[in-house]
Chain A
Amino acid sequence: GNSVTQMEGPVTLSEEAFLTINCTYTATGYPSLFWYVQYPGEGLQLLLKATKADDKGSNKGFEATYRKETTSFHLEKGSVQVSDSAVYFCALSRVGNQFYFGTGTSLTVIP
């Protein structure tokens, strides 16, 4: 079956700290992998994506690399800002199929 496992939160960091949010997946075939972000009071927004092994998705200073050998897609950012405070969801999907979301990781960045 298909599933996504994310590190549990909440995560609290000081501004300019390094961020890693772990994500591993189980899937049949070769899924595409995604990170979505949900800011307070809003819907989910696509943050970045990778569609095949060794692809690196990046956006707004965030990066994640599709690692087939470790079935992982960890999210990283070198220097977080207060405005990055949000809930982050890892997800997988295959063409024509539904998305499978992780449980979400809440990030709070303090000044």
Chain B
Amino acid sequence: DTAVSQTPKYLVTQMGNDKSIKCEQNLGHDTMYWYKQDSKKFLKIMFSYNNKELIINETVPNRFSPKSPDKAHLNLHINSLELGDSAVYFCASRGTDLYGYTFGSGTRLTVV
């Protein structure tokens, strides 16, 4: 059983399109996150939800909109995709203990 699963794993799309990435966790964690990893491997937090409520909303373009239908799911919708959006996007979840995140395996988005 995959603890944090993201779909799709790869996404190639044209500039200007709208796309979504889905994330689901079966760990019973309360908090979920979206991170963006650029080509230099730098990880930048984008959003965090706790029990379906937005708690972190870093400075990202408003073309990015997270949606959490329930605490096990956190989806990321991106409007009007741009070349600079190409990156690997990671979903993660965290329980109430100190012991770290559980990451999904990532979605590699390529905008052409």
Identify the A interface with B (CB < 8 A).
Answer: 32, 34, 36, 38, 41-46, 49, 51, 87, 89, 93, 95, 98-99, 101, 103-104, 106
Contacts and interface: CB of A to CB of B under 8 A. Distances in A.
B41 A103 contact: yes
Interface in B29-58: 33, 40-43, 45, 48, 56
B16 to A, nearest CB: 28
Interface of B: 4, 33, 40-43, 45, 48, 56, 90, 92, 98-101, 103-106
B56 A44 contact: no
Given A98-B56, A103-B41, A104-B42, A49 B99 contact: yes
Given A34-B100, A98-B33, A98-B48, A43 B106 contact: yes
Contacts, number: 47
Nearest to A95: B98
Contact of A32 (B4, B56, B98, B106): B98
A107 to B, nearest CB: 12
Contacts of B43: 44, 89, 101, 104
Contacts of B101: 44, 46, 99
A95 B48 CA distance: 15
Contact of B42 (A36, A38, A46, A103): A103
